Structure 1
Amino acid sequence: MQDLYNVERTCKEKELSIEEIYHLRQELAVPILEKLGQWIKKESLTALPKSPIGKAINYTLNLWDELCQYTEDGSYIIDNNNVENKVRPVAIGRKNYLFAGSEEGAKRAAMFIPYLQCAKWQTLNLMHGIQIS
């Protein structure tokens, strides 16, 4: 996996265009994914399906096409870490609503905090010229 992220790091460091990213991924990332896919398929034959590694292998095989999809377009990103980092404060907030002082306070916080976070994201998107419909 680190090799795949090294390809992405190279794209970023060299400030490659979308077209150049696509070609570099085809040249470097696709062979890495093919090798990884072969290894996973081989291991799936011997891994116990209910073991942790068996579950991980089956999960990966079930999502293999989606995993490889980012290599088909230079504008795609390799993971969704950016989105998960943006959603995390809302998810943590939901847990914290349990300690809002009262049930009514928790209900209000549960309604307003995600609303305000979405408004913040929308403002940032507008500032960067990103339209969300």
Structure 2
Amino acid sequence: MVYKNDAIAKKRKMTDIERLRFHQNKSGPAMEKHHAWMRAQFAEKNVEPNSGLGGAIGYMLKHWEKLTLFLRQAGAPLDNNICERALKKAILHRKNSLFYKTDAGACVGDAYMSLIHTCALNGADPFDYITQLQRHAKEVRKKPQQWMPWNYRQTIARAPPR
């Protein structure tokens, strides 16, 4: 329900303040009901604290203030999924890096992985981006700040035809 409400807020292009008020009105009561239910599970001994469900409820109760920040602070995200996905990529790269033959090869691999993930976060096609860096190597050396994954397309659009 909370994510459904957030999707509605995004669809309506609400400001951070409007989104906060919307969640307080629509998501707040459901979250409070959920909080009361979780507390009751332990109070009424319906759930063993050491069970899987008990562990999950305990985690939620322990972190309740942080998990419900979106109900108190304008602009607070519902979750940190972007960070979680980035960490998964870093862990996968760490596992893959065990197979580099040299330290220099590992450094090159790290640079490429950083570029690829930065492209992905900025909506740029990594293959196109790296291709354009190679095609415009002289310009990149002169003004590298104009050739970042988030602005290289504008730089190409401004360039005179070759």
TM-score greater than 0.5 by the shorter chain? yes
Give deviations 1:11-43, integer Å, cap 9, x for gaps. Answer: 011111111101101101111110010011111
Gaps of 5+ in 1: 129-133
Residue 117 of structure 1 corresponds to which residue in structure 2? Answer: 114
Residue pairs, 1:1-133, within 5 angstroms: 3-45=1-43, 46=45, 47-100=47-100, 102=101, 104-105=102-103, 109=106, 113=110, 117=114, 121=118, 124=122, 127=150
* Residue identity matched to 1:113: D
Greater relative CO (CA pairs within 8 A, separation 6+): 1
Identity percentage over the alignment? Answer: 23
Residue 128 of structure 2 corresponds to which residue in structure 1? Answer: none
Give deviations 1:52-104, integer Å, cap 9, x for gaps. Answer: 1111111111101111111112311101112222332211101112222x4x4
- Contact 1:97/1:110 (<8 A) preserved: no
- Contact 1:48/1:54 (<8 A) preserved: yes
- Contact 1:70/1:77 (<8 A) preserved: yes
- Contact 2:20/2:70 (<8 A) preserved: no
**Aligned mates of 2:21, 2:8 — CA distance in 1:** 13
Give SS of 2:27's match: helix
**Aligned mates of 1:114, 1:30 — CA distance in 2:** 44
- Contact 1:18/1:75 (<8 A) preserved: yes
Structural RMSD (CA): 3.0
Larger radius of gyration: 2
- How far off is 1:116 after superposition? 5.8
* Residue identity matched to 1:23: R
Gaps of 5+ in 2: 123-147, 152-162
